[in-house]
Amino acid sequence: MLAVVRAGAPGNTHSISPASSIIEHRPKVFFTQPRLQSPTGSTAVLSHLHRVLACGALVDGRWRKHIKTLRDRLALGQRRLASLLLAIGFELFCEPKAGMFLWARHPAIQNAGELAYNAAEQDILLGPGHLFSVDLEPGPWLRFNVAWSDDEALLRFLVTLKAA
């Protein structure tokens, strides 16, 4: 059996670390091949521990379990954030069942960029929708990162919008 796996995020493609290496996986040969080719063309020598971890992720299904847990946590985060935003008075663009982002707008706010600027003054980073638009025209939509949406400072800031 032969499987070629590229592990790592696109931002790591110029690294020779084990997390961003091309792994040729043959179970019987895996532990005897200490040199792996990185995306930049250089080679990296991996320790036995790295090979054990990579092989375990591929063979034992730990990666699949990790991804399932991550999806479940994101789905829960989506539901929590959507409930919070609706309670504060936001309108959701749509209600996805899972995913990393949630788009919403507050009816009293026409320019999300101004809201993001006010939030930045309190060390809160918001993603105004125009940053993700082709025309970059200001608009009311915000893109919330579900993974970071349980931050206390963000929640306090959003609750102040309900009072306004």
- For the question of whether the overall pTM of this predicted structure is more than 0.75, the answer is no
CA distances from 141 to 52, 111, 122, 138 (A): 46, 8, 20, 9
The type of residue at 158 is L
Instruction: Tell me the pLDDT of the chain (164 aa) as tens digits.
Output: 444 444 444 444 333 444 444 444 455 544 555 455 445 444 455 567 777 777 777 777 778 888 889 899 999 999 999 999 999 999 999 888 778 999 999 988 899 999 999 999 999 999 998 898 888 888 899 999 998 888 889 989 988 887 66
